[in-house]
Amino acid sequence: MESVWVKDTEPRQFEELKENISTDVLIVGGGIAGILCAYMLKSEGVDCILLEADRICNGITKNTTAKITLQHGLFCDKLINRYGEEKARLYIKAQLNALNKYKDMCKDTSCDFEIKDSYVYSLDDRDKIEREIKALNSLGIGAELSDTSALPFSAAGAVRVPDQAQFHPLKFLYEISKDLPIYENTKAREFMPYRVTTEHALIEYDKLIIATHFPIINKHGSYFLKLYQHRSYVLALKGAQNLDGMYVDESDKGVSFRNCGELLLLGGGGHRTGKKGGCWQELEDFAEKYYKNAKIVGRWATQDCMSLDSIPYIGQYSKNTPDIYVATGFNKWGMTNAMVSADILCDLVRGKHNPYTQVFSPSRTMLHSQLAVNALESTLGLITPTAPRCPHLGCALKYNRAEHTWDCPCHGSRFGEKGELIDNPSTDDIII
């Protein structure tokens, strides 16, 4: 079940850390957010190192669909209505800046970078589409109404935003990471004030960035309540049409599309981790209905951290940890939000002002309806009397028949059939 990105790249390898070391900035987590943080800090002459418990890009990053766009569903209209035009403008500007940084960095990187138009479509609600176009245009983004004739089914319409992008994420990351101070197979085992221990070393730091997808320090920040995880699935089809654009359904239960060379990538079948969902079967049924002559040549799944208000948590880890920072809750839009994270955190650890800090602050209000849902799921997981249980906070695990894994419905940790850890926030295996 490897993604198309894994199949045609040779991983870059780094040594394990085996001696004590000190650094100005320690980054924990070798996915796209951590690597971009290290890249930007090194570019600014900041002393930093990055620790990865496994291999870089071997977690969520390798399973993305790699769409680089400021268009995060029909989100702009919701942002304006909830927070006002100024906050929405800053959010969109942060995403646009991220897109432009990718454009600049990819000029010198062989990573299949392509400029593509982005579309968010609705099957049955044209009013939603028109409201989103109005909202984007009010913020200076040239959005327009588009038909959906490229799709294999009828829809009410789509919001088109031109000049967005897609790329090969692993080619990009392996290229920019080649000269970075990275240590692989180096698991952070214990976090203490200004010190972290691994199996063979102690690292002293001035600033710490946690970029582990789901934050792994439980006693600060209440991330076990502020986040839940959501799984989604991808099929790679050969022999399907070229859509020449990136398409996403405004509904969470819809299908996304993008081409990758001669392949068409279908995304969907999603569900909260640990719950039942359509999985690959839903996508297979879709492909059978609309792309009868296409052949399935690949499949994989991914997992996303979802915040309470659909805005990522980027900044100071908590009010009580002034020198610890975090990047999480990318809400399925990890490519641009990873770059936003690197931009914000690179400034914060150097004591510089960043205009987007307040928009993404992890200490903003938790008073959203999703908080009650997360709390209920955690309570149910804790009182369910079955085994095995997640070592993160003790919730009962559910068996995922589609992927043959044990999944935690509370916080999204996942384990193989033999108990080996696959996805955090758990940091330990389980005993089956």
Q: Is 95 inside a domain boundary?
A: no
From start to end of 307-394, where are the E strands? 313-316, 324-328
pLDDT of residue 382: 85
Please compute the mean of the pLDDT values over residues 416-426 and round it to a whole number.
92
Q: Is 21 inside a domain boundary?
A: yes
Give yes or no for residue 216 having a pLDDT over 90: yes
- pTM for this structure? 0.95
pLDDT of residue 69: 98
Q: Is 55 inside a domain boundary?
A: yes
Q: What is the CATH classification number for the domain harbouring 382?
A: 2.102.10.10
Domain end point (choices 322, 342, 360): 360
Q: Are residues 379 and 398 in the same domain?
A: yes
Please compute the mean of the pLDDT values over residues 184-212 and round it to a whole number.
97
pLDDT of residue 285: 96
Q: Is 378 inside a domain boundary?
A: yes
Tens digits of residue pLDDT in 18-33: 999 999 999 999 999 9
Q: Is 292 inside a domain boundary?
A: no
Q: Is 346 inside a domain boundary?
A: yes
Q: Are 315 and 360 in contact (CB under 8 A)?
A: yes
Q: Which domain holds residue 388?
A: 369-423
Q: Are residues 327 and 374 in the same domain?
A: no
Token readout for 431 is 């005993």
Please compute the mean of the pLDDT values over residues 263-282 and round it to a whole number.
94
Choose among 73, 51, 303: nearest CA to 196: 51
Q: Is 137 inside a domain boundary?
A: no
The three-class DSSP label of residue 56 is coil
Q: Comparing 7-11, 36-40, 70-74, 125-129, which segment has the lowest mean pLDDT?
A: 7-11
pLDDT band of 252, cuts 50, 70, 90? confident
Tens digits of residue pLDDT in 352-407: 999 999 999 999 989 899 999 998 888 888 888 888 999 998 999 999 988 999 99
Q: Are residues 212 and 318 in the same domain?
A: yes
Of all residues in the chain, the percent with pLDDT exceeding 90 is 91
pLDDT of residue 432: 76
Token readout for 262 is 């001669």
Q: Are residues 25 and 55 in the same domain?
A: yes
Q: Are 124 and 176 in contact (CB under 8 A)?
A: no
pLDDT of residue 196: 98
Rounded CA separation 338/66 (Å): 12
Q: Are residues 11 and 59 in the same domain?
A: yes
Q: What is the CATH classification number for the domain harbouring 53?
A: 3.50.50.60
Of residues 382 and 335, which shows the higher confidence score? 335
Q: Which residues of 171-198 are buried (b: 16+ CB within 10 A; e: fewer)?
A: bbbbebbeebbbbbbbebeebeeeebeb
pLDDT of residue 208: 98
Tens digits of residue pLDDT in 275-285: 988 999 999 99
DSSP per-residue codes, 98-160? HHHHHHHHHTTS-S--EEEEEEEEESS-HHHHHHHHHHHHHTT---EEE--TTSSS--SEEEE
Q: Are residues 355 and 373 in the same domain?
A: no
Average pLDDT for the chain:
95
| Helix, strand, coil percentages for the chain (3-state, nearest 5) | 30, 25, 45
Of all residues in the chain, the percent with pLDDT exceeding 70 is 100
Q: Are residues 194 and 213 in the same domain?
A: yes
Q: Is 77 inside a domain boundary?
A: no
Q: Are residues 374 and 344 in the same domain?
A: no
Please compute the mean of the pLDDT values over residues 60-72 and round it to a whole number.
96
- Give the count of domains, the chain: 2
Q: Are 286 and 195 in contact (CB under 8 A)?
A: no
Q: What residues contact residue 8 under an 8 Å CB cut-off, 6+ apart?
A: none
Q: Are residues 376 and 411 in the same domain?
A: yes
Choose among 252, 309, 337: nearest CA to 60: 337
